[in-house]
Amino acid sequence: MAQGTITKVSGPLVVASGMEDADMFDVVRVGDLGLIGEIIEMRGGDASIQVYEETAGIGPGAPVVSTGAQLSVELGPGLIENIYDGIQRPLETMYEKVGPNITRGIQVPALDREKKWEFTPCVKAGDEVESGDVIGTVDETAVVKHKIMVPYPLRGQIVSIEAGSYTVDQKVAVLKLDSGEEKELTLMQKWPVRVGRPYKEKLVPDMPLITGQRVIDTMFPIAKGGVAAVPGPFGSGKTVVQHQLAKWADADIVVYIGCGERGNEMTDVLNEFPALKDPRTGESLMKRTVLIANTSDMPVAAREASIYTGITIAEYFRDMGYSVALMADSTSRWAEALREMSGRLEEMPGEEGYPAYLGSRLAQFYERAGRVRTLGSDDRIGALSAIGAVSPPGGDISEPVSQATLRIVKVFWCLSATLAHERHFPAIDWLQSYSLYVDRLTPWFEKNVNKEFPKLRAQALRLLQEEANLNEIVQLVGVDALSLEDRVKLDACKSIREDYLHQNAFHDIDTYSSMNKQYKMLKLILSYFDLAVDGVGKGAPFNKLETLPVKEKIGRFKYLEEDKVDGAYDSLMQELKDSIQALIAEEAENDD
């Protein structure tokens, strides 16, 4: 173990000499309190250390001791339902030990060493196993079966394995390696956070991550294993969008990282998630959630660690064959931490003071997402979808973090301050947002929703684009100057915007829309458009068309329970056709 001496302290950056035996990214203990730090630069025997705790009171001459290991996370039963800080220290355990204020230098194991877990083997002595093979399971919560896997890169023959109650660090099996050495296996394994966990192959993302949010699923879908960014100014609803995705997305496990956001937003998560009934299982949502909280008043340097800690835990559950949704709120705060450390290291700054390597660091994070065939002899497929919020100052997405993110991600949900001000939520701007997964996902939607669903989506987006152009004309010459067909178009677009794209996250029914409901509601609105255009062409008066009672019913379609959707759709479609036909017939009679 290398031991050095502090020569300089600059906020979260500490420089120590005499560290020739240490390596890059080694975890070190700084000062007499033993603060946790990580070596981020080596120059001869001088190590620059990023300290993940407050460095006040530490000065030159204090000792620095290397642990000889990289910053790693403990992976095993006990992760689910837990809330960790950025360096995987359990906040509840620390609260029990030292009260509400975290004491500097406190060391608490990430996984409870006392709790016993009921282990059920699924291999037997004499079986040949390789890295990633499942040797047994633990029922971690009522909804998550935790699979105990052979750690990478081990392979060999199981010598002994027994069912029973074990703590995470007790031996559950003995593995005889190909080299002849025997290795004890426990319920827990460790993994360095900066290294992506290995897999056999990355698969094409060809199925959507259904979220129940109409503007996302219909207009700008994300694939399972996909990456998305949610940039938007203060108050535009980034956090609510991420909460909705965490609650409703079609994922087995949710990893939520509060990276540098305000404490009250994490408090909302902590209060809401345990009380929320998971729609998939009927249990509390926390039964499949891991929380990582590194709020704005916690050490800035630990924001970087929190992002890597979160994605490593997410990869671990992906390796079990689960679909994992990772929410990072927000990567802008992480970038600010990079900027601060880069400045203190006196590196050459890039744009707006951010380090020149900002883009590559963001890419390294997002490329760890994906749908993969995992290690192991059984053919497991897991998916890790990463959704990062971006908080550009003043909502200006031309700033470096937003631009670097846009070059990497495939889905861009642009939140608009104007829409938020108009109380249109989710405030995703349909004219600026995009999804590059649409073509890949079209066959899935045609097969599993309806053959014409992709066409309806394209028609709705085209109408909204034309509406924006028409609105400019209306502002110049007034609505009366438009043709009847264009006025029908504006009326239909109003329904798409206000009835379809507007969704109430706090309404018991409207908070989630199934794909069947989304298709049928969109079909009703666009059928109104097609029939109304035909109607005005045959002489039906526009002022009567826009006040048809059936339009109000279509607008309220989103508040129907799922079991009433199909029946209501058939009757509304019939009523729509009859109403417009009646108007045409009435006009024809008047002409006679």
Residue 527 neighbours by CB under 8 Å, 6+ apart: 573, 576
Distance CA 349, CA 351 (A): 7
487 pLDDT more than 90 = yes
Model confidence over 553-589: pLDDT tens digits? 999 999 999 999 999 999 999 999 999 999 999 887 8
277 pLDDT more than 80 = no
pLDDT for residue 8: 95
- Burial classification of residue 240, based on how many CB atoms lie within 10 Å of its CB (0-12 exposed, 13-18 middle, 19 or more buried): middle
592 pLDDT more than 70 = no
410 pLDDT more than 90 = yes
Give the residue-averaged pLDDT of 429-442: 96
Share of the chain above pLDDT 90, in %: 78
286 pLDDT more than 70 = yes
Mean of all residue pLDDT scores within the chain: 92
320 — pLDDT class (breaks 50, 70, 90): very high
Distance CA 580, CA 377 (A): 61
pLDDT for residue 396: 87
481 — pLDDT class (breaks 50, 70, 90): confident
Share of the chain above pLDDT 70, in %: 99
Distance CA 215, CA 464 (A): 13
Give the residue-averaged pLDDT of 8-20: 94
Distance CA 169, CA 279 (A): 34
Model confidence over 91-116: pLDDT tens digits? 899 989 988 888 888 889 999 999 99
Model confidence over 488-540: pLDDT tens digits? 999 999 999 999 999 999 898 999 999 999 999 999 999 999 999 999 998 88
Q: Among 99-103, 155-159, 244-248, 570-574, where is mean pLDDT lowest?
A: 99-103
pLDDT for residue 37: 95
pLDDT for residue 81: 92
pLDDT for residue 16: 97
> Which DSSP symbol is given to 216?
I
pTM summary value: 0.94
Classify 353 as helix, strand or coil. Answer: helix
Distance CA 565, CA 517 (A): 6
Residue 4 neighbours by CB under 8 Å, 6+ apart: 16, 17, 18, 19, 22, 45, 47, 63, 64, 66
Rounded to 5 degrees, φ, ψ at 94 are -65, -35
Distance CA 121, CA 268 (A): 39
250 closest CA partner among 213, 286, 293 = 213
DSSP string, 454-515: HHHHHHHHHHHHHHHHHHHHHHHH-GGGS-HHHHHHHHHHHHIIIIII---TTSTTTT---H
Comparison of pLDDT for 281 and 122, the residue scoring more: 122
Comparison of pLDDT for 295 and 26, the residue scoring more: 26
479 — pLDDT class (breaks 50, 70, 90): confident
Classify 244 as helix, strand or coil. Answer: helix
120: Cα within 13 Å, side-chain hemisphere: 7
166 pLDDT more than 90 = yes
Model confidence over 380-406: pLDDT tens digits? 999 999 999 998 888 888 999 999 999
Beta bridge partners, 253, equal 324
pLDDT for residue 452: 96
Q: Among 35-39, 276-280, 319-323, where is mean pLDDT lowest?
A: 276-280
Q: In this structure, what token pair is assigned to residue 184? A: 């004890």
317 — pLDDT class (breaks 50, 70, 90): very high
Residues in the chain: 592
590 pLDDT more than 90 = no
297 pLDDT more than 80 = no
Beta bridge partners, 83, equal 291
Model confidence over 218-242: pLDDT tens digits? 999 999 999 999 998 888 888 889 8
Model confidence over 337-368: pLDDT tens digits? 899 999 999 999 999 999 999 999 999 999 99
Comparison of pLDDT for 447 and 477, the residue scoring more: 447
Model confidence over 168-222: pLDDT tens digits? 999 999 999 988 899 999 999 999 999 999 999 999 999 999 999 999 999 999 9
456 pLDDT more than 90 = yes
